Amino acid sequence: MKPVPSFITSARGALFDLDGVIVDTARFHYQAWRRLAAELGFEFTEAHNERLKGVSRMRSLEILLEIGGLQFDEARSVELATKKNAWYVELISKMGPEEILPGAADYLRQLRADGVKIALGSASKNAPMILDSLGITGLFDAIVDGNHVAKAKPDPEVFLLGATRLGLQAADCVVYEDAEAGIEAAHRAGMKAVGIGDPAILGAAEFVIPGLHALLKPAGLPF
């Protein structure tokens, strides 16, 4: 394992994306979008789904409709996104703490023990419900989600608001992200980013790891 860079160990604030960093909801988004595409008469593949990671619900629908070669007015688009969300919520309502990605909850606890402030910075409007079903709402000092921001990632709004809610400067915060759009949002906010996933996709991040488990300290030892 590469040594943990000092921008991570010296940060006073940590801003976490949710989907793909703390919990793997991408497969449930995929099932719900695929069902919508099937109803509209076209196939939606896992490769297509990659394009929706980190992207807001309405923008995801736009991309999906582009793939299907379809166009609808605003009212019909909202209707379709609402339908997809109802299916998605039905799928995620069955989630419990066992769905937390390896090491994620322990890493949040480790940061808290080290005095680091923690905020959520997610595009999802379902984030509060997801954190509650995972039983980890209490590990966050601030929650910023799709209900609080007007501009979606790669716009930096979600992370800038997160830093403000923690009472910290952007430069004191580190972002943990699994999507390219999220890494770009972090950089535009003036923050360094830890990429969670494939270095070939997340090469723009200052440090890339396969999951938050890679940052857990061996019991009782400092880095």
**Catalytic residue positions, numbered:** 17, 19
Instruction: Name which of 24 and 114 has its Cβ closer to ligand BG6.
Output: 24
Kindly tell me the sign of the dihedral angle through the C-alpha atoms of 56, 58, 63, 68: positive
Instruction: Name which of 31 and 85 has its Cβ closer to ligand BG6.
Output: 85
Q: Considering only residues 144-183, where is the footprint of ligand BG6 by CB under 6 A?
A: 146
Footprint on this chain of Mg ion (rule: CB under 5 A): 17, 19-20, 54, 178-179
Kindly tell me the sign of the dihedral angle through the C-alpha atoms of 111, 11, 121, 149: positive
Instruction: Report if residue 56 touches ligand BG6, rule: CB under 6 A.
Output: yes
Residue with tokens 């716009």: 155
Taking CB under 6 A as the criterion, the residue among 23, 80, 116, 123 binding ligand BG6 is 123
Provide the 3-class DSSP secondary structure of residue 70.
coil
Instruction: Name which of 18 and 80 has its Cβ closer to ligand BG6.
Output: 18
What pairing do the DSSP bridges indicate for beta strands 13-16 and 173-177? Answer: parallel
Instruction: Report if residue 52 touches ligand BG6, rule: CB under 6 A.
Output: yes
Q: Residue 69: which of 85, 48, 52 has the closest Cα?
A: 48
The region, left, alpha or beta by phi > 0 then psi within -120 to 50, assigned to residue 92 is: alpha
Taking CB under 6 A as the criterion, the residue among 122, 134, 158, 177 binding ligand BG6 is 122
Instruction: Report if residue 133 touches ligand BG6, rule: CB under 6 A.
Output: no
* Residues engaged in binding ligand BG6 (CB under 6 A): 18-19, 29, 52-57, 60, 85, 122-126, 146
